[in-house]
Amino acid sequence: MENPILKDPRELFHTEKFEKQDQDTPALQAKMNPKPDCGEKSYVGNKKLENRRVLITGGDSGIGRAAAIAFAKEGADVAIQFYPGEEKDANEVAECIQEAGRKACLLPYDLREESTPKQIIEQAVADLGGLDTLVLNAAQQISKKSIEELSIQQIRDTFTINIIAMFELVQLALPNLPAGSSIITTTSVQAFDPSDHLLDYAATKAAIANFTIGLAKQLASKGIRVNGVAPGPIWTPLQLDHGQPQGALPDFGQESLLGRAGQPVELAPVYVFLASNDASYVTAQIYGVTGGEAINL
């Protein structure tokens, strides 16, 4: 009898402290050290999403990038929205999608601009020939140690990007989504255990969790499933772009039960499952990928 293939989760990926580093806005994955593993080489597809037409916001780096690459390797055509200025990362993702033999569509739009959601949906539908899967993942995360330092403009921007854009994108996409479609949001462990330095970000993530379950109740009668993923500390460009308190980056993720930060590719199978027909009886759920921290509604 052959031995089972087991991997100690404590010893996977990057297990050491991170070096001190930061970037100007927008932070690029291409400049990170170490560069996050988004499944460029490590993810292996199994044709679970053959010929699906997917829109992913924030799809150029981090978790959105991992989802985009995995979806393409599973057989989907993918449109990715990204913040203008992140073209280098977006082009890398497009290359990965095309190497998987699928169509890649790049949508450089700033979600803070009023007309953006309409343009994103219209272009995605036109380029992909339809739409059946939404991964609403784009986010702004800026650390501020006190509410006195938190500008109202930052609060407005964080809410606009993180949750208001979700409402608009779903409203505009809905007429194009047939029965069997899937909507997946990215919330966070911050929705359930907020950090004091991420007051606005954590509040939006709590709103996203609530939005996800409420929307699932609305759309079940249309045969559309809605679920969310709640990541814990994941090594992404968000952390380098003022996403962590000064001096905190080297220890990022080290306090998780598994003793390390997660990598974006470790979330990809969850997004694939929730989008696929394997999850046909799964809706109104939040899946935690947190390294051990509990999530509760």
AA letter at 90: A
Residue 111 and residue 121 in contact, taking contact as beta carbons nearer than 8 Å: no
Q: Any idea which residues carry the catalytic annotation?
A: 201
pTM of the model: 0.95
246 CB contacts (<8 Å, ≥6 apart)?
none
Confidence band for 292, pLDDT divided at 50, 70 and 90: very high
The pLDDT tens digits of the residues spanning 7-64 come to: 999 999 998 889 888 888 888 888 888 899 999 999 999 999 999 999 999 999 999 9
Question: For residue 98, what are its two tokens?
Answer: 């095309």
pLDDT at 240: 84
pLDDT at 168: 97
The pLDDT tens digits of the residues spanning 71-107 come to: 999 999 999 999 999 999 999 999 999 999 999 999 9
pLDDT at 106: 98
AA letter at 236: T
pLDDT at 81: 98
Q: How far apart are CA 151 and CA 135, in angstroms?
A: 29
Q: Which fold has domain 49-289?
A: Rossmann fold (3.40.50)
% residues pLDDT > 70 (the chain): 100
DSSP count for the chain of H helices, then E strands = 7, 7
pLDDT at 66: 97
121 CB contacts (<8 Å, ≥6 apart)?
55, 131, 169, 172, 173, 176
Longest dimension (CA), the chain: 64
Residue 88 and residue 65 in contact, taking contact as beta carbons nearer than 8 Å: no
Domain ranges of the chain: 49-289
| Residue 3, pLDDT above cutoff 90 | no
pLDDT at 48: 97
In terms of phi and psi (left: phi > 0; alpha: psi -120 to 50; beta: otherwise), the region of 181 is beta
180: three-class secondary structure by DSSP: coil
Average pLDDT on 149-177 reads 97
pLDDT at 227: 98
Taking alpha carbons only, the member of 32, 26, 27, 90 closest to residue 235 is 32
Confidence band for 196, pLDDT divided at 50, 70 and 90: very high
Least confident range of 142-151, 169-178, 214-223, 278-287: 142-151
